[in-house]
Chain A
Amino acid sequence: MKDMTKDILAGAAGRRRNGVGDPLGPNSEIGRKLKQYYDELVSDDVPDRFAQLLSQLEQTEPAQKKD
């Protein structure tokens, strides 16, 4: 029992030092904010100009392959 407690405490101290295995994982404030920041950017509406651009590129292309 005493040993187990020691292990748990050592584990906690180790995590405190190293920041739980994955330093940018869900237990890390930085990791959480980073994902929140990025997810917000990814979910931003894509302007039409990009779909238009790809259509333009497609039209200017010689001999479109049909298959």
Chain B
Amino acid sequence: MAAVSQGFKADLLGAIPSLRAFAVSLTQNADKADDLVQETLVKAWDKHESFQPGTNLKAWLFTILRNEFYSQMRKRGREVQDSDGIMTARLAVHPAQHGQLDLKDFRGALEQLPEDQREAIILIGASGFSYEEAAEICGCAVGTIKSRVSRARTRLQEILKISGEDEYGPDAISAQVTGTAAH
């Protein structure tokens, strides 16, 4: 086995904050998340030769972490949630007041999403991956990611009772139009 280069090690170290954030998003538990990151680093180290230099290391590591997460869930005999089998019971979340949404409420809402939707909206809306990269990480079609993101967003809006997204844009424009009409 070829030695792991210093550069690779440094890149792994640099990726740890993102890996931890993604792991917490998946597991919703800080301890489980760090165990998952540890497993990911060991796996990445062992199979470093399969990484193609010049390709996206972060995406490669996210793929390993995600696979590890789902294989652990299966081992524990936990059924992987999917969007179709979602429970209808919802925690009561106070409606956002004056557009100010509490981060704690948001976290609670995110927790209620099925895993496949949560990971999709995190990868696209927060981790900065493209739809193509997210599809590769999740091993599914780009269209599947798009529909999961869209369902996740709709569901978060429902849970958090956000009705009029884009609340600033149209109002600002209406005001402009009204202003013009008054002249």
Contact = CB atoms under 8 A, between A and B. Distances in A.
Interface residues of A, number: 43
Given A8-B177, A24-B121, A28-B166, A63 B3 contact: yes
Contacts of B13: 50-51, 54
Interface string B148-159: 011001001100
B150 A11 contact: no
Nearest to A31: B125
B136 interface: no
A40 B99 CA distance: 20
B37 interface: yes
B103 A42 contact: no
B169 A43 contact: no
Contacts of A51: 13
A65 B21 CA distance: 32
Q: Give 5 nearest A-B pairs by CB, closest first.
A: A38-B126, A41-B21, A65-B3, A24-B125, A12-B170
